[in-house]
Amino acid sequence: MPQLPGNSRYGSIRSKLFLLVLLVSAIALTISMVGGALLEWNKQQEQVRQSLVTTARAAGIAASAALAFHDRKAAGDALRILQAQTMIEAAALYPLEGYRLATYGDSGGLPDNVSKLSEHLPDFTPWSAATTLFQPVVLDGSAIGHLYLRASLLDYRRTYLLHAALMIGANLLGLLLAAGLAMRFIDRIVKPVRELAGTSRQVRASGNFSLRAVPSEANLGRDEISELVDSFNAMLAEIERRERDLTSYHKLLESRVLERTASLHTANRELQLAKEAAEAATLAKSRFLAAASHDLRQPIQAINLFKEALDKTGLNGEQTRISHFLSRAILNLGELLDALLDISKLDTGAVAPQPGVLGVHKLFSDIDAEFSLLAAAKSLRFKFSFPPGATALFTDGALLQGLLRNLIGNAIKYTERGGVLVALRRRGDQALIQVWDTGIGIAPEHRAMIFDEYFQAGNPERDKAKGLGLGLAIARRLATLLNTEIVCHSRPGKGSVFEFRLPLAPNGQ
Ligand SMILES: Nc1ncnc2c1ncn2[C@@H]1O[C@H](COP(=O)(O)OP(=O)(O)O)[C@@H](O)[C@H]1O
Ligand SMILES: [Mg+2]
């Protein structure tokens, strides 16, 4: 068992308890000692006083006749009775006249005359070496003189001190006994507390909740400490159980997460594969379409050549009319093939934008050349608006022209009155390019669909003469290639605007 810091604290509670027991015992013993000494003192004092008074009275009676007759010799003989009391050092008899009639023992210090004396009983302290008594000698109820006594207290004091020493010895023995017993019992009481503290330190240091404090009921039976040990052990068991539960929950959670992650991975891979397959299929379809429209061009050209040859064979009126319809059908077919080829080319990724500096003047004059006649044929105004000075875009010119061609073509096509305006405005380092018209406009519910393939708001019968419905689909793909997006605003009956943003060339060049 490793020695952990704080173990020495056990010593402190033990010594505190020990000191407490010692203090309480010492106080109790001291009180009893002092009380005993006082009682003993009182008792002894009373005994000494009684014995002296009785002796003095006996001596007084013995000497009363001699005193009455002032007989010195008889008085001295009578006083010899005092020999029976060894503690009496000296004594003197005084008749009523007050002079000293007779003495006994060591007469030094005995007063010659009673004038200095007053009647008193023996009085003394534990430190006094001697005491005195002065009392009247009575004969037939009246005082005939006085007796003076001096008694040594040395013997008495010796006895008293011996008693006291014995008592102190006994008390010290008691204190020693109490200390020994206290040590034994305190050790027994403190041992389980120390073990409990040791176990708690070990648990704290090792984090091992399977440890338990040892119950020590064998020595002291059930008490608060054994209850504390039990509660502590129960607490440890509870913590251990919770820790086990937590660990198993943790493991369960981990395995669930792993499971879910694995299934997510699988799902992701499946999705990825499906997406790749769909993309591959779309690409294959676009390639097939491109190849087909390219190959279809050959027989169409052949048909055209055959029709021209047929025209030269001198046709009658009906045959010329049929030939005319044939031309229009061939034209439509050509346009359709062009549009399909465009879309499939854009979808297969065969077209890569090649951005360069494109002057706005050049762009707009090309457009003007292409569309002004078309607009004039419908009596529409056709205008441009752009900032003064040289302005240039940084973009792919061919793709931008394709995009504008679709938007401007639509604007002229769906406008009967008013005109078409192509505008370019600076917006920071970008140009906002807009195609305005005062045409029929687009209903809000159609606005989201006009960019879909084959959607035409005004041609539910799908009359090929009214166009193919592929122009905006192509425009949207071109915009994506140019990294921009076409936004359409429109008010039905008032007109529409289609706009998108492109980067300006640096320095406006
Ligand atoms: N400027 C416009 N004004 C009104 N409607 C328009 C305009 N441009 C496009 N549209 C609507 O969007 C449809 C799709 O346009 P588009 O894809 O170019 O096909 P198409 O021009 O061949 O009909 C058009 O049929 C028309 O209904
Ligand atoms: Mg169109």
- pLDDT by residue (tens digit) across 279-321? 898 888 888 877 887 888 888 889 889 999 999 998 898 999 9
Q: How far is the CA of 410 from the centre of ligand 2 (A)?
A: 5
**Residue 449 pLDDT exceeds 90:** yes
Q: How far apart are the C-alpha atoms of 241 and 39, rounded to whole Å?
A: 68
User: Cα–chain-centroid distance for residue 504?
Assistant: 55
Q: What residue type is assigned to position 170 of the chain?
A: A
Task: State residue 218's pLDDT score.
Answer: 56
Question: What integer pLDDT is reported at residue 477 of this predicted model?
Answer: 94
pLDDT tier for residue 271 given thresholds of 50, 70 and 90: very high
Instruction: Say how many Å lie between the CA of residue 406 and the centre of ligand 1.
Output: 9
Q: Looking at ligand 1, which atom is closest to the CA of residue 467?
A: 22
Atom of ligand 1 nearest to the CA of 495: 3
Supply the residue whose CA is at minimum distance from atom 24 of ligand 1.
456
| Residues within 5 Å of ion ligand 2, judged at the Cβ atom | 410, 471
- The rounded distance, in Å, linking the Cα atoms of 200 and 203 is 5
Place of tokens 């193919």: 468
What architecture is domain 353-508?
2-Layer Sandwich (3.30)
Q: Which residues contact 56 (CB under 8 A, 6 or more apart)?
A: 133, 135, 147, 149
What residue type is 286 in one-letter code? Answer: S
Question: How far is 84 from 86, CA to CA, in rounded Å?
Answer: 6
Question: Is the pLDDT at 195 greater than 80, yes or no?
Answer: yes
Query: What local confidence, expressed as pLDDT, does residue 222 receive?
Result: 78
Residue 387 near ligand 1, beta carbon < 6 Å: no
Domain positions in the chain: 9-178, 353-508
- Which percentage of the chain shows pLDDT scores above 90? 46
Its pTM stands at 0.51
Report which protein residue has its CA nearest ligand 1's atom 4.
441
Domain 9-178, CATH number (from 3.30.450.20, 1.10.8.60, 1.10.287.370, 3.30.530.20):
3.30.450.20
Q: Whose CA is nearest to atom 8 of ligand 1?
A: 410
Relative to the alpha carbon of 488, which ligand is closest? 1
Q: What is the mean pLDDT of residues 73-79?
A: 91
The three-point CA angle 452-457-459 to 5° equals: 110
The finding on whether 458 has its CB within 6 A of some atom of ligand 1 is: yes
Q: Say yes or no: CB of residue 493 within 6 Å of ligand 1.
A: no
The answer to whether residue 267 scores a pLDDT higher than 90 is yes
Encode pLDDT of 86-141 as tens digits. Answer: 889 999 999 989 899 999 988 888 888 888 788 888 888 878 889 999 999 988 88
Average pLDDT over residues 142-151: 91
Counting ligand 1 atoms within 8 A of each CB, the residue from 414, 416, 455 with the most, and so the one to mutate, is 414
CA distance between the termini of the chain? 87
Q: Minimal CA–CA distance to 14: which of 222, 195, 194?
A: 194
pLDDT of residue 390: 86
Residue nearest to atom 13 of ligand 1 (CA): 456
CA of 344 to the centre of ligand 1 (A): 20
